[in-house]
Amino acid sequence: MGLCDSTRCWRWQHGSAAAFKAGVAALLLGLTLAQTAPPQTKCPAVAAQSNLTEAQYHNITDEDYSGFLSAFVQSFLNTVQPNPFPKEIVVRMIKDLNQVLSNQDLIKDALEYQVGFLVCAAIGVLYIVLMPIVGLFLACCRCCGNCGGKMYQKQTSSVHCHRRALFWSAFVTTAIILAGNICMFKSNEALKVTIDQTADGLSRTFDNINTFLSAVPEEMSHVVNESYKTIQEVTRNLETIGPQLGAQIQEAFRDTIKPALNSVRLLDEDTENTSDQLNKLNSSLAELQSSVDRLQANVTAVKDHINQTLSNPDCTGCDKLLPELKELDTLDTTIIIPSAKELQFAVDEVMKINLSSKVKEVEDYFNSIPQRVTNDTEGIVQSSRKLLDDIRAQIVKIADIPLATLDNITDTLDEARREIARIIPQLERGERIRWGVCVALCCLVLLVVACYFMGMILGPLGLKPNADPRKRSCTADSGGTFLMMGAGFSFLFSWLFMILVLVLFLLGGNIYTLVCRPWDNGQLLKLLDTPGLIPGFDSIGPSLGLKSRVNISDIYKACERDEPLWTTLHLDEVIDLDDTLNVSKYTDQILNYFDDVDITLSTLTLLSPDIKDQLSSFSGEADDFDAVDITPQINNVSRINLNTTADKLDQLASLQTNNNTKKELQDQARELRQIQAAIETALIPQMENINTSVAGLRFIAQKINGTVGEVLSNVGAAQDFLNTNTTQIVKTESKEFVDCQMGYFFVYADWAKLTITVHIGRCGPVADVVDFFESLICLNLVESLNAFWFSLGWCMIFFVPGIIFSIKLAKYYRKMKYSDVFEENLTMSHIPRAHVKIS
């Protein structure tokens, strides 16, 4: 492992595996703190919990139906029944259903509450009784020539005004009846459309309910399954506790050990450099001494030869050169460095320490920490895994909410769905019959309207104001006949239609006032909350394990806000999430695993006192190193010039007559020049090289003192840190490792709480189902039904003035059998006035 890895691990000691065992104990113990805030530690990221898959529901409340006559009908019914919802009466009737007819007080209260409907019903009964009676008497009277039965019309000056007033009165009345008839057609069609769409709406509604009921268990299972991710992650961390926790401890030592290791490595490099420089210096000195000895021997030999030659009697003028010969310098280049031996000895001692092997030894020791942790914590990991299995079993209890009730509801809904599917064909056939009957009723009313309009069209078209009433055209007469037909049909059908109006009024009106209106303002749901009203409903709470009673109104309001089942059904009474997600019950068992663990940490000595003394001695020798300056010696050698003597020998040789002497002098001059060349080409560079080595050695020696000081300071600080903080560091890093694992459980617990209490079973679809049935029953079926009887009753009310206006208007268009008597001397209007008897 490299430097960075090695510097993390200096504080791991023999026996530290026990500390990791304690760390594992602290890990499992930390799970009990899952309800507290997560620790601020740098933990490896764990896979986030996946969100719940949102259930897909059909849209069953996308459009709100609003009947075209709703405002009128509701205003009328609110006037008929202004009393508030009779909760007490309804409760008494339901609880004492078998004794309702014998309970006089209850009947009296019910009749008092329904007084508005009773008054309207009485008016309807009166209409039903009087209309056929009046029609019968009118028919008999006309057959006897009375009540307009006699075909005679008195002509007056205001006859046209009367006709026009009756015409427009009849027209307006007929238009009103036509408007009511159009409303009948429209309400009948709206009712048909509603019933035709009921099957599809119910199917989508049942699908939504089944989707909701099946989604709740799936969401609970999802929450439980997500816990396995956390448990598996913690299990993997425990199984790899050696690499993970070992690396954390190594990282904790980085800042302290890194300077010490760097300074030791730097000292090792400086020691090696010093040794290399000393070796080079010694080698250079030996080489220099060898060169000096060789050159010195050559100079001595040449000097002796020259002395012999100059002492030869045959040498002419040689005595003059003898003083010059004596001046030949002796090569003295001995370089002595007094402290070099002491420095060399100190360097050798430090080299024997082998600082690089010490660093490698420490690195190997700390690199083995993960494997040591793995080996020493194997048994603890196995025990911890068993505890994690217990924790998993504890978390599974989240799903202990009694969902069997939901299964029962699902079975009931499936049975209801099959029953509805069986009834739907019969309902469709019945709806076709109902629609045909209602269309026939609408057509009968339309027939009356058509007769009136035909009469009001043909009558004016064929009428000639100045014509004799006996001679009116067939067109006008047909118009009068149509008017009479319309009146006859009105007498014939109106009382039958009024029976239908009365029945539908009592049915639809009471459904609106007793069901729809309290359903809309919430009073109906409060009625359903009455204890004992719905058989078996009071047992729903106990079947779910609830202590409090389930209120339908509260459930609906909660679902209307799309709240989860946790708050809607008060499921906190069934399962305690804090207890389920808290594993503190395992604390004692975990602590028992580690009560007998004796955490003993041996001390690691970075540098022994002997090594420190050797380094101090090495520093002192380096500080005392006295490197001589050999530059003056180089200068002295540089000033040696044997070429001058050689030149003088050449000059002396030129004066000789003896060839042997001449040749000897020339050879000796050449030898001197060769020696001079050797001094310049070999000796001086060697001395310069030695000078450079000495300078480099001096620099390194000066640096060593500071390096050794830094090593002793950093290692001392690191050693003190190890001696005083190793145990605490191990505990701290172990706790951080534990905190990371605790954080995983905290994240899961927090997510599980949020999911269960906020997201699981959001019952908005349930409220949508209730709203759908309210819309279906009240806003569609009841509104359409009420609009139909209201429109039909509207037509029946205006049948009365229609009959009166049509019968009176018909006489202005029909052919008369008798003519009025005109007076010649009397100023008449455009139509002569005849004397007629009042019929």
What number of H helices and E strands is found in the chain? Answer: 30, 0
pLDDT digits (tens, 9 = 90+) for 395-437: 777 766 655 566 667 777 788 888 888 888 888 898 899 899 9
Instruction: Say what the pTM is.
Output: 0.66
The DSSP result for 88-108, as a single string, is: HHHHHHHHTGGGTTT-HHHHH
Residues 516-535 pLDDT 10s: 999 988 888 888 877 767 66
Distance CA 79, CA 473 (A): 50
Average pLDDT on 579-598 reads 57
Residues 6+ apart with CB under 8 A from 260: 606, 711, 714, 715, 717, 718
* pLDDT category of residue 146 using cuts at 50, 70 and 90: low
Confidence of residue 834 (pLDDT cuts 50, 70, 90): very low
pLDDT at 222 over 60: yes
DSSP 589-616: HHHHHHTT-----PPPPSS-HHHHHHHH
Digit-coded pLDDT (tens) for 726-735: 667 766 776 6
Instruction: Supply the Cα-derived Rg of the chain in whole angstroms.
Output: 63
Look up residue 500 and give its amino acid. Answer: L
Express each pLDDT in 84-137 by its tens digit: 888 888 888 887 777 767 778 888 888 888 899 999 999 999 999 998 898 888
Residue 463's nearest CA partner among 832, 818, 831, 812 is 812
Supply the pLDDT for residue 808.
84
Residue type, 218: E
Q: Of the candidates 482, 463, 480, which has an alpha carbon nearest to the alpha carbon of residue 472?
A: 463
Q: What is the 3-state secondary structure (H, E, C) of 349-389?
A: HHHHHCHHHHHHHHHHHHHCHHHHHHHHCHHHHHHHHHHHH
Instruction: Write the DSSP string, 289-333.
Output: HHHHHHHHHHHHHHHHHHHHHHTSTT-TTGGGGHHHHHTPPP---
The residue among 208, 213, 770 whose CA lies nearest residue 525 is 770
What integer pLDDT is reported at residue 197 of this predicted model?
Answer: 83
Sorted by sequence, the CB contacts under 8 Å of residue 548 that are 6+ apart come out as 541, 570, 573
Q: How far is C-alpha 602 from the chain's CA centre?
A: 50
How many percent of the chain have pLDDT more than 70?
72
